[in-house]
């Protein structure tokens, strides 16, 4: 729009009003308003900059409009320096004498009120910039601001930290009454609570470990910390509880009430809450209900690794050398597993298994496998031809097969959780998030203290917590060799992790598989090869392969642990195994990288399977024991040690497949060995 030429009625100064702010700030005070032709933006800017003097109504409008924004505050400070206020009258407040009352004076300061008359004219030139403060004065000003902020901040209050495991706190655990809402109790030092043995004498002092008995672990100590918000204040109250931690709870069950008895001593501690460890602990507590037992698990849940990452097959005992522990315990364990599932109502399917020969040179090996199964007393074995194969598996092709109708499938994680429930119902304790890093003899074990002699072994975890026990049984799976070395026993045989990757048949293609379909194993290679495995949820798993894992718990291709990697590659037994089976290892790595290579192996049995019918599925890591000569340890291995602590420990050094099937039979054997060794 074209500029409008108007004049101010008070200062008679001609000016131009355009889209930019008006240069004469007196128009509003002098009664001149912008014409209606000016846009709203120019009008608001004109009103914001209209006042030019410190006193009067125009000044008050100027202050209100310039409160927001750094630039406006800067312009206001420059304006005050250019137009200072008149000096205050002498005498009164600053002289120490009583203030002189004046007509219209402010009751707060004793100064005259601000004038309300017309504003003073502006000289019309920009205000000079304020004097720049020195760096020293700026630092001093910043320090004063920080001190003022600290004085304004509320004082800190130290509240006792909520017990991690829920519970009602130390007062309730000791049998006292709840304190009133809002009251803060002083945290009790750890040394005030001392565990006592069965004879009443005090045991060595614990180090921050939440003592437990039964299914819940109330905190033994309190850790003060700063209160941070409403959530911390709520949790600091007596009724403010969280989920129970430190002890395993059966899924879907509410937390039990907090216990009032503290116990940190056990007769036997079982390290490892896999299916073998839980079955062994269950068998021990059922045989010796008068003793105290504990299961120590480094993860937050049970059966987290090998027990929860397997194919779920209940093996019948065909493959194993006659007379070996695997052959004996697998046949016994399968019968016990079916019986246990029937008692507990755990679902399973006895769908059978076909070991199929697809080439002529596999038939002699298949017949030898049949004879081995008969020697192992496997029930229902028989050899069938191609027509009978198609009658059982319509989409499977083969020359001859070994039919094992006694083979089944089950969810072993569900079985392991059932073992844990039985163990806790019998009075056992399960401690999760307890990674064992040390086992030493207590100093009191050589003293005259009866309890010191009764519980001489200290078990420490990665957090510095401790428990005392008489004997230890380790079922650590992937870490069995490291626990053996920690306890002073032999590190041989070493554990080498092998990762197995499964494929999953698409749901619309699962009708092609009814039961387990296995290849004839090659005696030159240690693994069973690709097979078809139906699952309890209706899916079908294909595989697995077998490649070296770069991490003991590495379920993904690029999972890597420096410690685990160098432990494996620096072991001479691994290199001997690799050189002996180089072609097999390279083919497994090739199949792991290319999906079509794995499907090609599967098409030997079911030609209708294509690459488009499969998806990449889960993975598992197998703990394979390996001796220094490069031989895979093909049987279950149990050993102990020598010396004060070695004589009190029983190690399960190697328990690969079929350990899940054999878990109840292994538990009976471990219970017999514990009774014999430790004289329980």
Please check whether residue 545 lies inside any domain of the structure. Answer: yes
User: What percent of the chain has a predicted confidence (pLDDT) above 90?
Assistant: 50
Whether residues 658 and 611 share a domain: the answer is no
Residue 57 is predicted with a pLDDT of 44
Q: Scanning the structure block, which residue is given the tokens 């060595």?
A: 204
What's the CATH code of the domain at 647? Answer: 3.50.50.60
- Low-confidence winner among 123-127, 486-490, 536-540, 645-649 (lowest mean pLDDT): 123-127
DSSP string over 448-504: S-HHHHHS-EEEEETTS-EEEEEEEEE--GGGHHHHHHHTTS--PSEEEEEEEEEEE
- Residue 20 in 3-state DSSP? coil
Q: For residue range 566-577, what is the model confidence (pLDDT) as tens digits?
A: 999 999 999 999
Whether residues 500 and 608 share a domain: the answer is yes
Residue 407 is predicted with a pLDDT of 97
184 falls in which pLDDT band (50, 70, 90)?
very low
Whether residues 644 and 665 share a domain: the answer is yes
Q: Tell which of 34, 66, 81 closes a domain.
A: 81
33 falls in which pLDDT band (50, 70, 90)?
low
Q: Tell which of 59, 81, 103 closes a domain.
A: 81
Q: For residue range 596-624, what is the model confidence (pLDDT) as tens digits?
A: 999 999 999 999 999 999 999 999 999 99
Cβ atoms 344, 418 nearer than 8 A: yes
Q: How many domains does the chain have?
A: 3
563 falls in which pLDDT band (50, 70, 90)?
very high
Give the pTM.
0.64
Whether residues 283 and 424 share a domain: the answer is yes
Whether residues 482 and 420 share a domain: the answer is yes
Whether residues 581 and 461 share a domain: the answer is no
Q: Scanning the structure block, which residue is given the tokens 């006895």?
A: 350
Please check whether residue 341 lies inside any domain of the structure. Answer: no
Please check whether residue 590 lies inside any domain of the structure. Answer: yes
Cβ atoms 179, 185 nearer than 8 A: yes
Q: Residue 529: which of 540, 519, 517 has the closest Cα?
A: 519
Q: For residue range 400-440, what is the model confidence (pLDDT) as tens digits?
A: 999 999 999 999 999 999 999 999 999 999 999 999 999 99
Please check whether residue 401 lies inside any domain of the structure. Answer: no
Whether residues 608 and 502 share a domain: the answer is yes
Whether residues 482 and 623 share a domain: the answer is no
Whether residues 486 and 500 share a domain: the answer is no
Q: Tell which of 81, 115, 132 closes a domain.
A: 81
Q: In terms of residue numbers, what domain contains 564? A: 495-509+531-632
Please check whether residue 26 lies inside any domain of the structure. Answer: yes
Please check whether residue 397 lies inside any domain of the structure. Answer: no
Please check whether residue 69 lies inside any domain of the structure. Answer: yes
What per-residue string of b and e applies to 222-243 under the rule 16 or more CB within 10 Å gives b?
beeeebeeeeeeebbbbeebee
Please check whether residue 668 lies inside any domain of the structure. Answer: yes
Whether residues 623 and 647 share a domain: the answer is no
614-626/531-534 β-pairing: unpaired
Whether residues 481 and 543 share a domain: the answer is no
Q: Is the pLDDT of residue 69 over 70?
A: no
The CA distance from 174 to 259, in Å, is 9
Whether residues 587 and 665 share a domain: the answer is no
Q: Is the pLDDT of residue 241 over 60?
A: no
Cβ atoms 274, 309 nearer than 8 A: no
Structure tokens at 230: 């409403």
Query: Residue 359 region, left (φ>0) first, then alpha (ψ -120 to 50), else beta?
Result: beta
């Amino acid at each position: 729009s074209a500029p409008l030429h108007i004049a101010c009625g008070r200062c008679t100064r001609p000016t131009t009003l355009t889209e930019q702010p008006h240069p004469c700030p007196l128009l509003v005070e002098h009664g001149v308003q912008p014409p209606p032709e000016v846009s709203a933006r120019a009008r608001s800017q004109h009103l914001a900059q209209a006042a030019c003097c410190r006193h009067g109504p125009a000044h008050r409008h100027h202050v209100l409009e310039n409160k927001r924004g750094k630039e406006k505050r800067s312009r206001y400070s420059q304006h005050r320096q250019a137009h200072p206020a008149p000096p205050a009258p002498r005498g009164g407040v600053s002289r120490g004498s009583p203030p002189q009352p004046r007509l219209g004076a402010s009751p707060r300061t004793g100064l005259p009120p601000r004038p309300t008359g017309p504003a003073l004219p502006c000289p019309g030139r920009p205000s000079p910039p304020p004097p720049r403060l020195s760096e020293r004065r700026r630092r001093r000003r910043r320090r004063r601001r920080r001190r003022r902020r600290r004085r304004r901040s509320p004082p800190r209050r130290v509240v006792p930290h909520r017990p991690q495991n829920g519970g009602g706190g130390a007062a309730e655990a000791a049998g006292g009454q709840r304190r009133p809402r809002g009251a803060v109790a002083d945290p009790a030092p750890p040394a005030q609570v001392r565990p006592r043995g069965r004879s009443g004498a005090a045991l060595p002092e614990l180090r921050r470990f939440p003592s437990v008995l039964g299914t819940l672990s109330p905190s033994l100590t309190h850790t003060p910390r700063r209160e941070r918000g409403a959530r911390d204040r709520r949790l600091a109250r007596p009724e403010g509880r969280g989920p129970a931690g430190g002890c395993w709870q059966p899924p879907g069950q509410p937390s039990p009430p907090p216990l009032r008895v503290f116990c940190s001593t056990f007769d036997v501690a079982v390290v490892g809450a896999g299916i073998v460890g839980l079955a062994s602990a269950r068998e021990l507590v059922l045989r010796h209900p008068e003793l105290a037992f504990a299961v120590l698990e480094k993860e937050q849940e049970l059966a987290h690794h090998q027990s929860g990452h397997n194919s779920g097959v209940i093996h019948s005992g065909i493959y194993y050398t006659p007379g070996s522990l695997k052959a004996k315990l697998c046949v016994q364990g399968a019968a016990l597993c079916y019986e246990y599932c029937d008692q507990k109502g755990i679902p399973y399917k006895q769908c059978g298994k076909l070991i199929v020969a697809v080439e002529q040179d596999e038939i002699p090996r298949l017949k030898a496998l049949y004879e081995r199964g008969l020697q192992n007393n496997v029930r229902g074995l028989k050899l069938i031809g191609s027509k009978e194969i198609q009658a059982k598996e319509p989409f499977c092709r083969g020359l001859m097969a070994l039919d094992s109708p006694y083979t089944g499938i089950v969810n072993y994680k569900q079985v392991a959780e059932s073992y844990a429930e039985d163990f806790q119902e019998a009075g056992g304790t399960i401690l999760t998030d307890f990674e064992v890093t040390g086992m030493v003899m207590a100093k009191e074990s050589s003293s005259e203290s009866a309890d010191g002699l009764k519980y001489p072994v200290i078990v420490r975890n990665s957090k510095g917590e401790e428990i005392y026990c008489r004997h230890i049984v380790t079922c650590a799976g992937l870490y069995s060799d490291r626990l053996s070395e920690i306890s002073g026993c032999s590190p041989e045989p070493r554990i080498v992790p092998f990762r197995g990757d499964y494929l999953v048949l698409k749901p619309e293609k699962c009708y092609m598989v009814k039961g387990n379909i296995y290849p004839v194993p090659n005696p030159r290679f240690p693994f069973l090869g690709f097979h078809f495995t139906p699952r309890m949820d209706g899916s079908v798993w294909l595989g697995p392969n077998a490649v070296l894992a770069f991490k003991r718990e590495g379920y993904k291709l690029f999972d890597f642990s420096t410690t685990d990697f160098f432990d494996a590659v620096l072991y001479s037994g691994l290199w001997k195994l690799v050189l002996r089976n180089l072609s097999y290892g390279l083919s497994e790595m090739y199949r792991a990288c290319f999906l079509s290579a794995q499907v090609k192996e599967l098409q030997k049995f079911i030609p209708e399977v294509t690459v488009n019918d499969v998806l990449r599925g889960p993975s598992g890591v197998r703990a394979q024991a390996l001796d220094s000569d490069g031989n895979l340890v093909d049987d279950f291995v149990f050993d102990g040690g020598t010396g004060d602590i070695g004589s009190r420990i029983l190690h399960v050094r190697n328990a690969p497949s079929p350990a899940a099937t054999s878990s109840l039979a292994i538990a009976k054997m471990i219970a017999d060995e514990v009774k014999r060794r430790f004289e329980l």
